[in-house]
Amino acid sequence: RRVHGESIRELGGKMDALKLRLNDKMHEHKLPPQKRRAVSSVKWNILGNRLASISSEATHARIWPIDHQGLHKEPTELRGHEDIINSIAWSQDKPDSIATGSIDRTVRLWDTRASNKSYMTLRNDGEVFNVDWSSDGNLLAVAYRSQQEHFISTWDLNKKKLLKKLKFPFEVLDLCWARTHQDMNVPGDYLFAATGAGVVLIFKNATLHSLCQIQTHVSRTYCIDLHPSHK
């Protein structure tokens, strides 16, 4: 990943210190003991000037401002969920907007430039495990579990309206929206879902019209990502 023209080579560790390597220089931000937890996920925004992180058993997310000097400011904490946050996802067209999904059955949308109060809450039928934005920032896909049943739902964010919901006999472990590449014949976005059955499901936009499935592993497929060119 590149931030302000410089290559980021290393990021990780436990939440006692967030470490960032910019070219050959290591930057480190230490946290007080009462805030130390294992990192469960980190995500960059599209400009590479903010890093979001969530940690195990935490009900808040942190937003870290990053520039060419590395980490030099305290993170902002996004608080409002009543249970553990499982997923974070930046908008693909709005660099300051982020979504968080929680066991408390809600997805919250935040403007990281403003206060730590969410500007929209989407309530689901079960515990949320994954969220992702469409490329235009108008749609959100949500993977959740309700009483041992597994679902994907899509939302119209402009209308705050549930568009579609599908049930699956296996876990949905990751979601990824993809822009249509210019070489493809069918316009619109595609939604990819990694599942506990070891297959990746591919859907046509928010209608969740099934296009195909790909057997990727003999066991669970935990995550999925796409090439930056979206080919």
Tell me what pLDDT residue 30 has.
65
Per the DSSP assignment, residues forming a β-bridge with 76 are 63
55 backbone dihedrals φ, ψ, rounded to 5°: -130, 160
**Mean pLDDT, 10 residues at a time, the chain of 231 residues:** 37 54 65 62 91 90 82 83 96 94 97 86 96 93 95 96 96 87 58 95 93 92 82 63
As a whole number of angstroms, the distance between CA 7 and CA 195 comes to: 32
Closest CA to 63 of 33, 100, 34, 27: 100
Please give the angle made by the CA atoms of 14, 130 and 11, to the nearest 5 degrees. Answer: 25
Question: pTM for the whole thing?
Answer: 0.82
- Residue 227 has a pLDDT of 79
Question: What per-residue confidence (pLDDT) applies to 59?
Answer: 94
